[in-house]
Amino acid sequence: MSSAFLRKAGQFAADPVLRRWLRARLLRRTPGAPAFTPHRPPVLGEGWSGLAPEPPCAVFAPLPPGPPARPIRLRLPGAVLNLAPGEEAGLFDRPLPDLEARLGLFRFAWVPLMAADDDPRWVGALWAAWRARHGVPDLESWAWHPYTAAERAINLLTFAARHGLPEPVGDSLALLAVHGPAIAARLEYFGPHHTSNHLFNNGRGLALLGLALGLPACADLGFALVLSEAERIFRPSGLLREGSSHYHLLLTRSLASLWLAARRHGRPEAVPLEASLRAAAAQLPVLALPGGLPLIGDISPDCPPSHLAGLLPGGDRASGWLALLDDADRAALTALLDGVAAGADPAADGWLRADFGAWAGLWHAEPEGWSMMPGHGHQDCGGFELHHDGEKLLIDRGRGSYAVAGEADPDVAAIAHNGLTVDRAEPYPPNRPYYAPAFRRAVAGPAVLARAEDGVALAHHGFARLPGVGIAERHWRFTPQRLELRDRLDGHSRHEITRRLHTPCAVERAERGVILTTPRGRRFHLAAGDAPVLVVAEQSWQAYGEPAPATRLEVTLFARLPWTGLLTIEVL
Average pLDDT over residues 261-266: 98
* Domains in the chain: ranges and CATH: 34-233 (no CATH), 238-340 (no CATH), 350-571 (2.70.98.70)
Does residue 494 have a pLDDT over 90? Answer: yes
Residue 80: beta bridge partners?
A: 75
Average pLDDT over residues 165-189: 97
Torsion of CA 302, 307, 311, 316, to 10 degrees: -170
Of 511 and 384, the structure prediction assigns the larger pLDDT to 384
Helix then strand then coil, % of the chain, to nearest 5: 35, 25, 40
Does residue 397 have a pLDDT over 60? Answer: yes
Q: Nearest Cα to 72, choosing from 122, 5, 129, 13?
A: 122
d(CA 348, CA 449): 8
Backbone angles phi, psi at 196, to 5 degrees: -95, -165
Does residue 5 have a pLDDT over 60? Answer: no
Backbone angles phi, psi at 546, to 5 degrees: -120, 100
Backbone angles phi, psi at 405, to 5 degrees: -75, 135
Work out the mean pLDDT of the chain and round it to a whole number.
Answer: 95
Helix (H) or strand (E) holding 383: strand 383-388
Band (12; pLDDT cuts 50, 70, 90)? confident
Helix (H) or strand (E) holding 249: helix 245-264
pLDDT 10s digits, 188-243: 999 999 999 999 999 999 999 999 999 999 999 999 999 999 999 999 999 999 99
Does residue 183 have a pLDDT over 60? Answer: yes
Report the side by side order of strands in the sheet with 494-503: 420-422, 494-503, 546-560, 534-543
Q: How distant is the alpha carbon of residue 392 from its chain centre? A: 20
pLDDT 10s digits, 107-121: 999 999 999 999 999
- Contact between 97 and 253 under an 8 Å Cβ cutoff? The reply is no
Band (7; pLDDT cuts 50, 70, 90)? low
147: amino acid identity, one letter? Y
Does residue 460 have a pLDDT over 90? Answer: yes
Per-residue pLDDT at 134:
96
Of 463 and 13, the structure prediction assigns the larger pLDDT to 463
Does residue 513 have a pLDDT over 80? Answer: yes
Band (13; pLDDT cuts 50, 70, 90)? confident
DSSP 8-class letter at 192? T
In order, the DSSP letters of 515-548 are EEE-TT--EEEEEBTTB--EEEEEEEEEETTEEE
> How far is residue 300 from each of residues 85, 130, 242, 542, measured CA to CA in Å?
30, 24, 12, 11
Round the CA-based radius of gyration of the chain to a whole number and report it. Answer: 25
Average pLDDT over residues 489-494: 97
Q: What is the pTM of this model?
A: 0.96
Average pLDDT over residues 13-24: 91
Of 6 and 460, the structure prediction assigns the larger pLDDT to 460
Please give the share of the chain, as a percent, with pLDDT higher than 70: 98
Q: How distant is the alpha carbon of residue 91 from its chain centre? A: 28
Residue 486: beta bridge partners?
A: 475, 566
Does residue 284 have a pLDDT over 70? Answer: yes
Of 433 and 103, the structure prediction assigns the larger pLDDT to 103
Band (3; pLDDT cuts 50, 70, 90)? low
Average pLDDT over residues 8-13: 67
Per-residue pLDDT at 567:
98
Does residue 461 have a pLDDT over 60? Answer: yes
Does residue 522 have a pLDDT over 90? Answer: yes
Does residue 162 have a pLDDT over 50? Answer: yes
Does residue 6 have a pLDDT over 60? Answer: no
Does residue 1 have a pLDDT over 50? Answer: no
Band (4; pLDDT cuts 50, 70, 90)? low
pLDDT 10s digits, 25-80: 999 999 988 899 999 999 999 889 999 999 999 999 999 999 999 999 999 999 99
pLDDT 10s digits, 83-94: 999 999 889 989
pLDDT 10s digits, 123-154: 999 999 999 999 999 999 999 999 999 999 99
